[in-house]
Amino acid sequence: MTIPIARLGPLAQLRAGRTPRRISHLLLGLIGYGASVMLLVRSGLGAASWNVLTEGIARSTHLSFGSATNLVALAVLVAWLPIRELPGLGTVLNVALVGFSADATARVLPQPHGFAAQLGYLLGGLVALAFFDALYLGAQFGSGPRDGLMTGLVRLTGKPIAVVRTAIEVVVAVAGWLLGGTVGFGTVLIAVCLGPLVGFLLPRVTVSLSTAERGKP
């Protein structure tokens, strides 16, 4: 099983063409990703697995959610070493922007009142998270730490994105729950649906690269 994004080093990513469009997809995707994360957290019905882990760490360490997000991102980068995932501009901006966007959204996003509003936050956040995740990955400027773990394992195992992403989500959710993160039925819904949604959307929003750079290591 292959993924529709090229495996390029940082310099090859910059030389791959269509830069303005790719940069706009990258920035919009990362900012939207952070906002989507906070929608899921505010739903109160169970956040995405990585956010359960982040919330657990934030509660345990008294860091802000955004600071804990960045801490997790940096820690996950260490896991890239054995799978030899290649970083890029998207990797750096992911660490810088996602946590910032999540914190900024938290300051303006109202608390939902009633189950219908909570469900709206959950479903809207799930679809938005999958879309913005695929959008920034499809810019082909390198993965963020968490998605790099996914794409690296997809390449190594040959398993579909849905299978690899779901396995990661389950392991991370359990770890976050043990640290005090909030787990609900939404966590299960996200763990089951996010991988297939990203797998469906990614080929549709990926920006094609110049033939000169496509496929280079």
CB-side neighbour CA atoms (13 Å) of 170: 7
Amino acid (one-letter) located at 38: M
Q: Which pLDDT band holds residue 151 (cuts at 50, 70, 90)?
A: confident
pLDDT at 1: 46
Report pLDDT digits (tens) over 161-201.
888 888 998 899 889 889 988 788 888 898 889 889 998 99
Full-model pTM: 0.82
CB atoms within 10 A of CB 212: 11
